[in-house]
A and B are shown apart, each in its own frame.
Chain A
Amino acid sequence: MGKKILLEHAEVPGIQGYEVYREKGGYRSVEKALKTMSAEQVVEEVKTSGVRGRGGAGFPAGMKWSFLAKPEGVPRYLVCNADESEPGTFKDRYLMSKIPHLLIEGMITASYALGANTSYIYIRGEYYYLIGILEKAIEEAYANGWLGKNILGTDFSHDLYVHPGAGAYICGEETALLESLEGKRGNPRMKPPFPAVKGLYDCPTVVNNVETIAAVVPIINDGGEAYANIGIGRSTGTKLISASGHIKKPGVYEVEMGLPVEEFIYSDEYCGGILNDKKLKAVVAGGSSVPILPADLILTTANGEPRLMSYESLSDGGFQTGTMLGSGGFIVMDETTNIAKNLYNFTRFYHHESCGQCSPCREGTAWMEKILHKVLAGKGSMEDIDLLWDIQTKIDGNTICPLGEAASWPVASAIRHFRQDFEELVKNPAGLDETRYYYHCNNINPEVA
């Protein structure tokens, strides 16, 4: 059995409620931090743990915290990114619905470390049923003295709010999130300035993913060292993986960093092998935006080493032969999948979600979807594949926020590793069920659409 430190008690009956959560040792990290540690010591502990951001970019959390500007007389904020909208990623939802107090506890401890007296959980609008669960947990935390004025008799006071988004993936990008939280249109901001200097309401702000903040609880309870001893190399601790696709046991798994990908896919403890015992064709390992890899490259690196569930191992080989851990959305595809058809789905998503601020992303994502739609409708040509590749290079790296890259990488990797799937659709257009694919068009003039 792999080590579980976040979901250890997730299946305990009643753990959603305060009483059981507290019985199982809940809120110890708040007690320990507020009564025995200075804010700086908490930050140091998180640095020692080596925990990296679980929202996708993998930036060391302790380092991000130490960058937070601390000008006199200006409030600081902690914002939890619970906007989880990356296709294939559903781990934050699982954590918040199963064990909501873990997030609330993490928020309080982290806010103490950052000197934030107000914090927000920005939650994806479609997770409306979770808002009630979180608000109930917050209410219980207030009732038991973990939130509010002078917590545990110290001079640390803290208020925590849940704020729902309105259904835009782009509001998961941290600066678009802050705009949205301020009540504005969710357009990503240009950086610099970074949120650590000018974030929410122009004040220094830390934005962290749900899982990152939850990990603060075991880090403070057991010490940063103990956390750093779990995992492998610079990928410390455990990671929640959302497993989906052609596998026998889809679901959310907590894995220790360094678990071989092969074991994750085939062992009964995790995915349980490929559905109907078919052959593995490809895996998108970290949510829809990371490069897709064919079976051989996801199981072993180009050097023949077993591929592991860790930041370093998954990105071994760069984009030529590697991918990224991303947010841990692990999508498995069997031999019956046509990767170009699957790509269409992703591309449609990014087109739909582009905020439209910068021209390469606004126009490029739409153009790529149109081309894929044409190919899927059996009207494509070999040149279309090359054009798709070229458009992707024009977006990649040239946009304000990383959504441009998120839209480019799946296209690039699908063509790089599965060009034959595109060619097959071009050569044998017959047999395609055109009606299953529709061009996502939010166009304005219906006659032109």
Chain B
Amino acid sequence: MAKVIIDGIEVEVEDGTTILQAARSIGGEVTPPAMCYYTKLEGSGGYCRTCLVEVSKGSEKDPRPMPKLVPSCRTMVQDGMEVKNTTSERALEARKGVVEMLLVNHPLDCPVCDQAGECDLQDLSYDHGGYNTRSEFERRTFEKQDIGDKIQLHMTRCILCYRCVKVADQITDGRVHGVINRGDAAEISTYIKNAVDNDFSGNMIDVCPVGALTDKTFRFKSRVWFTKPMLAHRDCDKCSGKTTIWFKGDDVLRVTGRKDEWNEVEEFICNTCRFDKKKVSDWTIEGPKEVSRSSVISANKYKNLEKPKEFKLNDIKRLDS
């Protein structure tokens, strides 16, 4: 076991736990945002750099601070480690920079994006971003592409978190390539389209933190905050059959995995449950699904954890000038 102090709060965790997981066990503000890490996906994390934190004391044995900020999702705790997240100016400043970088080429097409309302990038920008953009350059765009007949890749919105690549890697054998080209021209490869013919490919949609991978059976049907999530299950020979189904009126508009407060699914579900079971009679309904994260979907009708911070018009003016 290792004792760690994060933003002044002490917690004891198993050896080999990451700083991020330790922070999640405390919960709330001290938990760094994570855009690329996904507990269920081996080798995920480290890419987006939103979870950078300052380690002000390495461990009891070696108390020296770590010179650079470290990605909390890929850094293991040591006994006696002291971590600063919200209490570190440096970490917050770096995070602001990361958010800006993620948005520099993002189309900001939230009004027409299916992910709006349950989008990690929206939440991240709201919590950690600046008020305006400092880039005046034209944004990068890509053609839309289909990955099979049920999933659409809208690369223009992608933040290259590599989560879908890991899903593809981990559900099919011997597939390595997931990204082609380099630097800001890098894109999720359509090799995925050709190679991923798998009953679990739909999970790429659930792991995508933005609206780059969307469910074609749900496209443009409704804003997510107008739909009502219910926990449901069915007998399935491929997966556990435990899902969240999203109603509008009496119609089932879409089926997803059950997401926890970190927006990660509890279990991956199969494509049959996700795409083909859209009748109420397909499902045994358990009751309403509590959306326990503070995003637009939880803001109105469902249990509201935290009221979003409000800013006054004057603040905006001051920041603009």
Q: A185-B177, A353-B182, A366-B184 are in contact. Are A398 and B160 (CB under 8 A)?
A: no
Flag whether A20 is at the interface (Cβ < 8 A): no
Q: Which A residues between 289 and 346 are near B, CB-CB below 8 angstroms?
A: none
How far apart are the CA atoms of A387 and B135 in the complex, in Å?
A: 9
Asked whether any CB of chain B lies closer than 8 Å to the CB of A224, the reply is no
Q: Evaluate contact between B183 and A356: CB separation under 8 angstroms.
A: yes
A364/B101 in contact, CB under 8 A: yes
Q: Interface 1/0s, chain B 158-178, versus A by CB < 8 A?
A: 011010000000000000110
**A400 near B46 (CB under 8 angstroms)?**
yes
| Chain B 137-151: CB-based contact to A (< 8 A → 1; otherwise 0) | 111111100000000
Q: Shortest CB–CB separation between residue A309 and chain B, in angstroms?
A: 27
Of all chain A residues, which has the CB nearest B106? A363
B101 touches A356 (CB 8 A): no
Contacts of B46 in A (CB 8 A): 190, 358, 400
CA distance A367 to B104 in the complex (A): 8
Contact A444 B141 (CB under 8 A): yes
Q: Is the CB of A352 within 8 A of B135?
A: no
B134 interfacial by beta-carbon distance below 8 Å = yes
Which residues of chain B come closer than 8 Å to A360, judged between CB atoms? Answer: 49, 97-98, 101
Please pick, from A185, A359, A442, the residue contacting B47 in the complex, using a CB distance under 8 A: A359
A residues 348-381 in Cβ contact with B at 8 Å? 351-367, 370
Interface centre among B52, B141, B159 (most CB of A within 10 A): B141
CA distance A400 to B105 in the complex (A): 20
Minimum Cβ distance to chain B for residue A329 (Å): 22
**In whole angstroms, what is the CA distance A170 to B186 when docked?**
14
Contact between A354 and B94, CB atoms less than 8 A apart: no
Secondary structure type dominating chain B contacts: loop
The residue from B71, B182, B185 contacting A168, defined by CB atoms under 8 A apart: B182
Q: How many residues of A contact B (CB 8 A)?
A: 37
**10 tightest A-B CB contacts, nearest first:** A394-B97, A356-B186, A354-B183, A363-B101, A366-B184, A442-B185, A190-B46, A356-B183, A359-B101, A445-B141
**CB-defined contacts of B94 to chain A, threshold 8 Å:** 394, 398
Residue pair A354, B184 in contact (C-beta under 8 Å): yes
Q: List the A side residues contacting B101 at CB < 8 Å.
A: 359-360, 362-364, 367, 394
Contact status B181-A356, CB under 8 Å: yes
Asked if B48 is an interface residue, CB under 8 A from chain A, the answer is yes
In contact, B184 and A356 (Cβ under 8 angstroms): yes
Give the complex CA separation of A244 and B98 in angstroms: 36
Bound-state CA distance A332–B134 (Å) is: 34
Residue in A362, A364, A391, A448 with the greatest tally of chain B CB atoms within 10 Å? A362
- Known contacts A359-B48, A363-B104; A444 and B187 CB within 8 A of each other: yes
How many angstroms between the C-alpha atoms of A351 and B181 in the bound complex?
A: 12
Q: Does A36 contact B (CB under 8 A)?
A: no
A358 pairs with B49, CB closer than 8 A: yes
Given contacts A190-B74, A355-B183, 13 further A-B contacts (CB under 8 A): A185-B179, A354-B183, A354-B184, A356-B185, A359-B48, A362-B183, A394-B98, A394-B100, A397-B68, A442-B183, A443-B185, A444-B140, A444-B142
In the complex, the answer to whether A355 meets B68 with C-beta atoms within 8 Å is no
Query: Chain B nearest CB: distance from A400 CB in Å?
Result: 6
Interface residues in B94-112 (C-beta closer than 8 Å to A): 94, 97-98, 100-102, 104-105
A355 in contact with B139 given A190-B46, A360-B97, A360-B98 (CB within 8 Å): no
Q: How far is the CA of A420 from the CA of B97 in the complex (A)?
A: 27
Q: Which of B46, B49, B143, B186 has the most CB of A within 10 A?
A: B49
Q: How far is the CA of A445 from the CA of B138 in the complex (A)?
A: 11
Do B49 and A399 touch (CB < 8 A)?
yes
The residue in chain A whose Cβ has the minimal distance to the Cβ of B176 is: A184
Q: Distance in Å from the Cβ of B53 to the closest Cβ of chain A? A: 12
CB proximity of B130 to chain A, nearest CB, Å: 11
